[in-house]
Amino acid sequence: MPITKKELKEIKDALDASARPLFLFDDDCDGTTSFVQLYKYKKEGKGVPVKASPVVDEKYVRKVEEYQPDLVFIVDKPVVKPEFFDKVKTPIIWLDHHKPMDVKRWSNVKCYNPRIHDDEDNLPATYWCYKVTGGPLWLATVGAVADWHVPDYIKEFEKEYKDLLPPKYKKVEDLLFNPKSGVGKLARIISFNLKGTVQETMKSVLVLTRIETPYEILNQTTPRGKYLYKKYKRLADKYHALLERAKAAFDENEKVLIFTYEDDQMSLTSDLSNELLYLFPEQLIMIARRHNGEYKYSLRSAGKYEIPLLLEKALKGVEGYGGGHTYACGGCVAEKDDEKFVKAIKRLLK
């Protein structure tokens, strides 16, 4: 059973009752479109993207103390440290779709997660935000597709935005990577606008909260649409150059495609790993950015390998961490242990 209607009403009621909410959200397309839906519905509050880590930890307590909200809303983050819950006494709503954490010991925390009811139910956060707020429909669709899910409201979307769908599609990958898919292009535009510093990311997110239709962006019909498209174009050439290099690393005799690159400013690992999985579905995809003495990984599988199990074994005796979904995970490994980590992964695939 998914998140229930009663629970969705509880979330909506809490939003309605709040005068000063603080939103902590993941800086991917799912987390961002979730926040934008909540913010456009509420028309109040402050958003803080949680970057560079899957964890909401003690350093975000300061954000709460500075803003003094009457509600803290955490969306699409897989891990919240107990220390955060211990120090924040404000009511907290945690809406997520990763492996649930037991929060019963904190009376001010309410966790809403479809996997509490059914561990196989992995509908993205933006899907549930749409069920709470009612949209915008186009944004909820782009966010769900970006998180590899074709939502049950796609038919409703098709009635209004048929030109943004490819002529034919059978699976979510077709919506993401078909050159004729406006939905896929919008997902890429939003994703690229989330790159950079927290300040740069939040500037783009705030612009996104003011977008009324997807055509503002795709056709650059307003200054705000032009702003988002310009940043996307600036990164697109860099992305495609990296993609071509990564494609060259493909070896049909190997079970894993590994590609690493260096960049001190921004990560394209998630975007690269998703598209490479579409191109090479038989491979385990491992894309890493070398930065500050670490390799930051995005790992993908088309259903052949359960990645959390591989990570759990490969990270033994390694300085690093990782986790996420069954077939899509992130990870971080110390540079000194990367070779050991990669060898462990290859050994496990034999």
Would you say 32 and 25 are in contact if contact means Cβ atoms under 8 Å apart? yes
Least Cα distance to 124 among 133, 115, 134 occurs for: 115
Count of Cβ atoms closer than 10 Å to residue 102 Cβ: 8
DSSP 73: E
Query: For the chain, which residues score pLDDT lower than 70?
Result: 1, 264-265
Least Cα distance to 247 among 231, 260, 265, 259 occurs for: 259
* Tokens encoding 79: 């891990």
For residue 309, the SS3 value is helix
CB under 8 Å to 29, separation ≥6 — which residues?
A: 142, 143, 146, 147, 187, 190, 191, 194
Distance CA 46, CA 136 (A): 19
Q: What is the pLDDT of residue 138?
A: 98
Q: What is the pLDDT of residue 10?
A: 98
The structural domains of the chain, ordered by start, are 5-160 (3.90.1640.30), 250-349 (3.10.310.40)
CB under 8 Å to 299, separation ≥6 — which residues?
A: 273, 284, 285, 286, 287, 307, 310, 311, 322, 328, 329, 330, 331
The model's pTM:
0.91
Q: What is the pLDDT of residue 5?
A: 96
Q: What is the pLDDT of residue 286?
A: 98
Note the residue count of the chain: 350
Q: What is the pLDDT of residue 264?
A: 64
